[in-house]
A = this chain, B = another copy of it.
Amino acid sequence: MKTPAIVINFKIYKEVVGAKGLELARICEAVASETDASIAIAPQMVDLGFIAEKVSIPVFAQHIDTGTAGAFTGFTSVEAVAGSGAVGTLINHSEHRIKISEIDELVQVCKKQSLITILCTNNLEVSSACAMLKPDFIAIEPPELIGGDISVTTADPDIVKNTVTEIKNLAPEVKVLTGAGIKTSEDVAKAIELGTDGVLLASGIVKAEDPRKALMDLVAGLK
């Protein structure tokens, strides 16, 4: 995945159920193609293979349960994600936190399967801790700002800046995304200016009245 990047988490909003999810994926693909911006998507888990087959932009899983294929029902393995055509996965999203030993195991197994890991964190301390586990990306998202109207880059630029500094210091190879409340080109431009490699967002696009227009606006902030 080229950086700077815009990663869109579809969550399980009603706006992405069934054909609507595929439609949104295609809008993202069209904008990426027209603007040459790096845009990736994380569709609903049940749509992962369905959408990965149909679009050419990078597709991520929203979550992964286990590093081991086997006799588990209704969970998702690293192999299943790789086999679905996805290029990577979110890990430890604020709405789906996992144990620290699981994070460590999943990051290692994803590396072996060449899956890109985006490890979500909630503050500077946890970001520093997670840097030691060497994911490809750390996405810092203060939970109290997720889904809100004020972007993290406006509400708390220091947390972004300090996280970037700390991670570059502890593990320079780990890239940084930021999220929570990202909605405009200014938010994206500010995130890049603060030293991140892109943004992770959800409602700003999924719940936009005109997702294509909203995405075009975000992309403008990448320049």
Interface size class of A (residues with CB under 8 A): 35 or more
Name the interface residues of A28-61: CB closer than 8 Å to any CB of B: 42, 44-51, 53, 61
Contacts of A79 in B (CB 8 A): 12, 14, 17
Contacts of A202 in B (CB 8 A): 71, 73
Contacts of A51 in B (CB 8 A): 49
Stretch at the interface among A96-104, A149-157, A184-192, A209-217: A96-104
Contact A93 B73 (CB under 8 A): yes
Contact B74 A14 (CB under 8 A): no
Contact B84 A92 (CB under 8 A): no
CB-based nearest B residue for A19: B83
Chain B CB within 8 A of A130 CB? yes
CB-CB contacts of A65-79 with B at 8 A, as 1s and 0s? Answer: 010011111111101
Contact B84 A47 (CB under 8 A): yes
Contact B100 A69 (CB under 8 A): no
Chain B CB within 8 A of A63 CB? yes
Contacts of A170 in B (CB 8 A): 132
Q: What would 24 A/B residue contacts be, using CB atoms closer than 8 Å?
A: A11-B72, A12-B70, A14-B79, A17-B77, A17-B82, A18-B82, A18-B85, A45-B74, A46-B46, A49-B49, A71-B95, A72-B95, A73-B94, A73-B202, A75-B96, A92-B99, A92-B100, A97-B100, A97-B101, A100-B103, A101-B122, A101-B126, A125-B134, A132-B132
Interface residues of A (CB under 8 A from B): 9, 11-14, 17-21, 42, 44-51, 53, 61-63, 66, 69-77, 79-86, 90, 92-104, 121-123, 125-126, 128-134, 146-147, 170, 202-203
Identify 15 new A-B residue pairs, CB closer than 8 A, beyond the known A46-B46, A100-B130.
A14-B79, A21-B83, A45-B46, A46-B48, A46-B61, A48-B49, A61-B74, A71-B146, A74-B96, A75-B95, A97-B100, A104-B122, A104-B129, A129-B129, A129-B131
